[in-house]
Amino acid sequence: MTMRADDTHPDRWRMLALISVAELLGMSVWFTGSAVAPQLTERWALSATDVGWLSTVVQLGFVLGTALSAVLNLADVVPARRLFATAATLGAFSNALLLLAPSYGWALVARALCGCCIAGVYPPAMKMASTWFRERRGLAVGTVVGALTVGKASPYLAQAIPDVTVRAVVFASSGAALVAALLIGWRYVDGPYAFPARRFSWGLVGTVFRERRWRLATGGYLGHMAELYSYWTWIPAFLGASAVAHAAATGSPVPTRLVGLLSFGVIAVGGIGCFWGGLVADRIGRARLVNRAMALSGACALLIGLTFGRSWWLLAPLALAWGFFVIADSAQFSVLVTESVPPHAVGTALTVQVSIGFLLTTVTIQIVPLLVQWIGWQWAFAALALGPLLGIASIRRLQRLT
**What is the per-residue pLDDT across 257-276, written as a single tens digit (0 to 9) for each?**
788 788 888 988 998 999 89
Check pLDDT > 80 for residue 343.
no
Q: Are 377 and 241 in contact (CB under 8 A)?
A: yes
Chain segment 356-370, per-residue pLDDT in tens: 998 898 888 888 888
Q: In a 10 Å sphere around its CB, with 0-12 CB exposed, 13-18 middle and 19+ buried, how is residue 100 labelled?
A: exposed
The Cα 156–Cα 261 span in angstroms is 7
Q: Are 144 and 125 in contact (CB under 8 A)?
A: yes
CA neighbor of 123 nearest in space, from 78, 172, 60: 78
The Cα 351–Cα 214 span in angstroms is 12
The Cα 91–Cα 55 span in angstroms is 15
Look over the chain and give the mean of its residue pLDDT values, rounded to a whole number.
Answer: 87
Q: Cα 59 from chain centroid? A: 10
Q: Are 370 and 269 in contact (CB under 8 A)?
A: no
**Of 210 and 291, the one with more pLDDT:** 291
Element (H, E) at 264: helix 256-284
CATH 3.10.105.10 fits 213-402, yes or no: no
Chain segment 78-104, per-residue pLDDT in tens: 888 999 999 999 999 999 999 999 999
Please report, rounded to a whole number, the percentage of residues in the chain having pLDDT higher than 70: 94
The Cα 30–Cα 36 span in angstroms is 12
Helices (DSSP H) in 104-211: which residue ranges?
104-117, 122-130, 137-152, 154-158, 166-187, 204-210
The Cα 236–Cα 350 span in angstroms is 30
Q: Are 149 and 270 in contact (CB under 8 A)?
A: yes
Q: Are 348 and 70 in contact (CB under 8 A)?
A: yes
**Of 199 and 105, the one with more pLDDT:** 105
Domain with CATH 1.20.1250.20 in the chain: 11-188, 213-402
Neighbours of 200 (CB within 10 A): 11
Counting every residue, how long is the chain?
Answer: 402
**Of 293 and 366, the one with more pLDDT:** 293
Average pLDDT over residues 174-182: 95
Average pLDDT over residues 222-238: 90
Label residue 159 by pLDDT band (50, 70, 90): low
Q: What is the CATH number of domain 11-188?
A: 1.20.1250.20
Q: Are 43 and 98 in contact (CB under 8 A)?
A: no
- DSSP, collapsed to helix, strand or coil, labels residue 188 as coil
Check pLDDT > 70 for residue 40.
yes
Average pLDDT over residues 5-24: 85
CA neighbor of 347 nearest in space, from 194, 134, 179: 194
Q: Cα 29 from chain centroid? A: 13
Label residue 391 by pLDDT band (50, 70, 90): very high
